[in-house]
Amino acid sequence: MEKLEEKLGYTFRDRSLLENALTHSSYANENKSLGLQSNERLEFLGDSVLGMVTADYLFRTHPDLPEGDLTRTRAALVCEGSLVEVAHQLELGSYLKLGKGEDAGGGRERPSIVADAVEAVLAAVYLDGGIGSARKIIQKFILDREEEKGGSRDYKTALQELVQRESGQVLTYRLIGSNGPDHAKVFQVEVDLNGAPVGGGEGHSKKEAEQNAAKAAIEKLSH
Protein backbone atom coordinates (compact mmCIF):
# COMPACT_ATOMS: atom_id res chain seq x y z
CA MET A 1 0.00 0.00 0.00
CA GLU A 2 2.87 2.38 0.74
CA LYS A 3 4.10 2.00 -2.84
CA LEU A 4 0.68 2.90 -4.18
CA GLU A 5 0.53 5.93 -1.89
CA GLU A 6 3.95 6.99 -3.18
CA LYS A 7 2.75 6.76 -6.77
CA LEU A 8 -0.39 8.71 -5.92
CA GLY A 9 1.59 11.31 -3.99
CA TYR A 10 -0.90 11.02 -1.15
CA THR A 11 -0.73 9.34 2.28
CA PHE A 12 -4.03 8.22 3.77
CA ARG A 13 -4.96 9.07 7.34
CA ASP A 14 -7.64 6.36 7.17
CA ARG A 15 -6.06 3.47 5.27
CA SER A 16 -9.36 1.52 5.35
CA LEU A 17 -10.75 3.91 2.72
CA LEU A 18 -8.00 2.85 0.30
CA GLU A 19 -8.57 -0.82 1.20
CA ASN A 20 -12.26 -0.36 0.40
CA ALA A 21 -11.46 1.34 -2.93
CA LEU A 22 -9.44 -1.70 -3.99
CA THR A 23 -12.07 -4.30 -3.01
CA HIS A 24 -13.99 -5.60 -6.03
CA SER A 25 -17.51 -6.93 -5.58
CA SER A 26 -16.35 -10.44 -6.53
CA TYR A 27 -13.97 -10.49 -3.54
CA ALA A 28 -16.57 -9.04 -1.15
CA ASN A 29 -19.11 -11.67 -2.28
CA GLU A 30 -16.66 -14.54 -1.81
CA ASN A 31 -15.68 -13.32 1.66
CA LYS A 32 -19.02 -12.31 3.18
CA SER A 33 -17.91 -13.55 6.60
CA LEU A 34 -15.40 -10.67 6.68
CA GLY A 35 -18.20 -8.13 6.28
CA LEU A 36 -16.35 -6.28 3.52
CA GLN A 37 -18.01 -3.66 1.35
CA SER A 38 -17.17 -3.53 -2.35
CA ASN A 39 -15.80 -0.39 -3.99
CA GLU A 40 -19.02 0.25 -5.95
CA ARG A 41 -20.29 3.05 -3.68
CA LEU A 42 -16.90 4.75 -3.80
CA GLU A 43 -16.87 4.36 -7.59
CA PHE A 44 -20.23 6.19 -7.73
CA LEU A 45 -18.85 9.09 -5.67
CA GLY A 46 -15.52 9.17 -7.51
CA ASP A 47 -17.27 9.47 -10.86
CA SER A 48 -18.94 12.68 -9.66
CA VAL A 49 -15.79 14.07 -8.05
CA LEU A 50 -13.82 13.46 -11.26
CA GLY A 51 -16.55 14.99 -13.43
CA MET A 52 -16.88 18.10 -11.24
CA VAL A 53 -13.14 18.75 -10.95
CA THR A 54 -12.68 18.26 -14.70
CA ALA A 55 -15.64 20.51 -15.56
CA ASP A 56 -14.35 23.22 -13.19
CA TYR A 57 -10.88 23.02 -14.73
CA LEU A 58 -12.17 23.25 -18.31
CA PHE A 59 -14.55 26.09 -17.45
CA ARG A 60 -11.72 28.14 -15.93
CA THR A 61 -8.96 27.36 -18.45
CA HIS A 62 -11.03 27.57 -21.66
CA PRO A 63 -13.21 30.69 -21.30
CA ASP A 64 -13.91 30.80 -25.05
CA LEU A 65 -15.05 27.18 -25.52
CA PRO A 66 -18.81 26.74 -26.08
CA GLU A 67 -20.83 24.30 -23.96
CA GLY A 68 -20.80 21.54 -26.58
CA ASP A 69 -17.00 21.56 -26.86
CA LEU A 70 -16.63 21.62 -23.07
CA THR A 71 -18.93 18.61 -22.79
CA ARG A 72 -17.04 16.62 -25.46
CA THR A 73 -13.65 17.47 -23.95
CA ARG A 74 -14.78 16.48 -20.46
CA ALA A 75 -16.16 13.19 -21.82
CA ALA A 76 -12.83 12.40 -23.48
CA LEU A 77 -10.88 13.21 -20.31
CA VAL A 78 -12.98 11.03 -18.00
CA CYS A 79 -13.68 8.15 -20.40
CA GLU A 80 -12.75 4.56 -19.63
CA GLY A 81 -9.68 4.66 -21.87
CA SER A 82 -8.28 7.66 -20.01
CA LEU A 83 -8.86 6.00 -16.63
CA VAL A 84 -7.28 2.74 -17.83
CA GLU A 85 -4.12 4.71 -18.66
CA VAL A 86 -4.09 6.09 -15.11
CA ALA A 87 -4.59 2.59 -13.70
CA HIS A 88 -1.64 1.29 -15.71
CA GLN A 89 0.52 4.19 -14.54
CA LEU A 90 -0.33 3.35 -10.92
CA GLU A 91 -0.11 -0.41 -11.57
CA LEU A 92 -3.48 -0.46 -9.83
CA GLY A 93 -4.42 -3.93 -11.05
CA SER A 94 -1.76 -5.53 -8.86
CA TYR A 95 -3.33 -4.04 -5.71
CA LEU A 96 -6.93 -5.09 -6.37
CA LYS A 97 -8.73 -7.61 -4.19
CA LEU A 98 -10.57 -9.86 -6.63
CA GLY A 99 -12.59 -13.03 -6.28
CA LYS A 100 -10.79 -16.19 -7.41
CA GLY A 101 -12.81 -16.55 -10.61
CA GLU A 102 -12.41 -12.89 -11.58
CA ASP A 103 -8.69 -13.01 -10.83
CA ALA A 104 -8.22 -16.20 -12.88
CA GLY A 105 -10.20 -14.67 -15.74
CA GLY A 106 -7.81 -11.72 -16.10
CA GLY A 107 -9.74 -9.24 -14.01
CA ARG A 108 -6.60 -7.31 -13.06
CA GLU A 109 -6.31 -6.18 -16.68
CA ARG A 110 -10.01 -5.81 -17.43
CA PRO A 111 -10.53 -2.17 -18.52
CA SER A 112 -13.90 -1.74 -16.78
CA ILE A 113 -12.58 -3.06 -13.45
CA VAL A 114 -9.39 -0.98 -13.31
CA ALA A 115 -11.16 2.17 -14.57
CA ASP A 116 -13.81 1.79 -11.85
CA ALA A 117 -11.05 1.28 -9.28
CA VAL A 118 -9.45 4.59 -10.30
CA GLU A 119 -12.75 6.36 -9.60
CA ALA A 120 -13.04 4.54 -6.26
CA VAL A 121 -9.52 5.61 -5.26
CA LEU A 122 -10.33 9.23 -6.15
CA ALA A 123 -13.39 9.04 -3.91
CA ALA A 124 -11.28 7.55 -1.11
CA VAL A 125 -8.82 10.46 -1.39
CA TYR A 126 -11.72 12.93 -1.41
CA LEU A 127 -13.24 11.43 1.75
CA ASP A 128 -9.87 11.22 3.49
CA GLY A 129 -8.35 14.54 2.53
CA GLY A 130 -11.02 16.70 0.92
CA ILE A 131 -11.59 18.06 -2.56
CA GLY A 132 -8.19 19.78 -2.67
CA SER A 133 -6.34 16.47 -2.31
CA ALA A 134 -8.53 14.81 -4.94
CA ARG A 135 -8.04 17.77 -7.29
CA LYS A 136 -4.24 17.48 -7.06
CA ILE A 137 -4.32 13.82 -8.09
CA ILE A 138 -6.79 14.44 -10.94
CA GLN A 139 -4.62 17.33 -12.13
CA LYS A 140 -1.46 15.22 -12.01
CA PHE A 141 -2.73 12.05 -13.67
CA ILE A 142 -5.44 13.28 -16.05
CA LEU A 143 -5.51 17.02 -16.70
CA ASP A 144 -1.76 17.70 -16.92
CA ARG A 145 -1.18 14.62 -19.06
CA GLU A 146 -3.84 15.68 -21.55
CA GLU A 147 -2.28 19.14 -21.76
CA GLU A 148 1.04 17.53 -22.63
CA LYS A 149 -0.70 15.64 -25.42
CA GLY A 150 -1.98 18.93 -26.76
CA GLY A 151 -5.39 18.60 -25.18
CA SER A 152 -8.04 15.99 -25.53
CA ARG A 153 -10.20 16.12 -28.63
CA ASP A 154 -13.24 14.47 -30.04
CA TYR A 155 -11.57 13.41 -33.29
CA LYS A 156 -14.73 11.96 -34.84
CA THR A 157 -16.50 15.32 -34.56
CA ALA A 158 -13.40 17.15 -35.81
CA LEU A 159 -13.16 14.83 -38.83
CA GLN A 160 -16.86 15.31 -39.60
CA GLU A 161 -16.39 19.09 -39.52
CA LEU A 162 -13.32 18.80 -41.77
CA VAL A 163 -14.99 16.78 -44.52
CA GLN A 164 -18.22 18.79 -44.40
CA ARG A 165 -16.40 21.73 -45.92
CA GLU A 166 -17.37 20.06 -49.19
CA SER A 167 -20.93 18.89 -49.74
CA GLY A 168 -21.87 15.25 -50.30
CA GLN A 169 -19.06 13.74 -48.23
CA VAL A 170 -19.90 10.43 -46.51
CA LEU A 171 -17.88 9.02 -43.61
CA THR A 172 -18.27 5.41 -42.47
CA TYR A 173 -16.51 3.49 -39.69
CA ARG A 174 -15.90 -0.24 -40.15
CA LEU A 175 -14.75 -2.77 -37.59
CA ILE A 176 -12.11 -4.75 -39.52
CA GLY A 177 -10.84 -7.02 -36.76
CA SER A 178 -10.07 -7.68 -33.13
CA ASN A 179 -7.53 -9.73 -31.23
CA GLY A 180 -6.54 -10.65 -27.70
CA PRO A 181 -8.44 -12.32 -24.85
CA ASP A 182 -11.92 -11.11 -23.89
CA HIS A 183 -10.68 -9.16 -20.88
CA ALA A 184 -8.07 -7.24 -22.92
CA LYS A 185 -9.42 -7.27 -26.45
CA VAL A 186 -8.03 -4.80 -28.99
CA PHE A 187 -10.32 -3.62 -31.80
CA GLN A 188 -9.21 -2.41 -35.25
CA VAL A 189 -11.38 0.12 -37.04
CA GLU A 190 -11.07 1.71 -40.48
CA VAL A 191 -12.73 4.97 -41.46
CA ASP A 192 -13.75 5.44 -45.11
CA LEU A 193 -14.49 8.68 -46.93
CA ASN A 194 -16.86 8.13 -49.86
CA GLY A 195 -15.96 4.42 -49.77
CA ALA A 196 -12.17 4.88 -49.76
CA PRO A 197 -10.11 4.22 -46.59
CA VAL A 198 -8.56 7.37 -45.10
CA GLY A 199 -7.46 6.17 -41.67
CA GLY A 200 -7.22 3.27 -39.26
CA GLY A 201 -6.94 2.91 -35.51
CA GLU A 202 -6.88 0.48 -32.61
CA GLY A 203 -8.33 0.65 -29.11
CA HIS A 204 -9.57 -1.34 -26.13
CA SER A 205 -13.12 -0.37 -27.11
CA LYS A 206 -14.75 0.22 -30.49
CA LYS A 207 -15.25 3.88 -29.56
CA GLU A 208 -11.57 4.32 -28.74
CA ALA A 209 -10.57 2.61 -32.00
CA GLU A 210 -12.93 4.89 -33.95
CA GLN A 211 -11.43 7.98 -32.30
CA ASN A 212 -7.91 6.84 -33.17
CA ALA A 213 -8.97 6.08 -36.76
CA ALA A 214 -10.50 9.55 -37.03
CA LYS A 215 -7.30 11.12 -35.66
CA ALA A 216 -5.24 9.27 -38.30
CA ALA A 217 -7.66 10.42 -41.01
CA ILE A 218 -7.40 14.06 -39.90
CA GLU A 219 -3.60 13.88 -40.07
CA LYS A 220 -3.75 12.36 -43.56
CA LEU A 221 -6.36 14.75 -44.95
CA SER A 222 -4.73 17.83 -43.44
CA HIS A 223 -1.43 17.27 -45.28
154 counts as catalytic: no
Q: Is 14 annotated as a binding residue?
A: no
Question: Is the CB of residue 142 less than 8 Å from the CB of residue 77?
Answer: yes
47 counts as catalytic: yes
User: What sign has the CA pseudo-torsion 83, 145, 153, 63?
Assistant: positive
Q: Is 56 annotated as a binding residue?
A: no
Spot the catalytic one: 19, 47, 109, 202: 47
Q: Is 43 annotated as a binding residue?
A: yes
DSSP state string for 78-107: SSHHHHHHHHHHHTGGGG-B--HHHHHTTG
Instruction: Classify strands 196-203 and 186-193 as parallel, antiparallel or unpaired.
Output: antiparallel
Spot the catalytic one: 119, 128, 154, 210: 119
Separation between Cα atoms, residue 196 and residue 112, nearest integer Å: 34
Annotated binding site for Mg(2+): 43, 116, 119
Q: Which residues are annotated as catalytic?
A: 47, 119
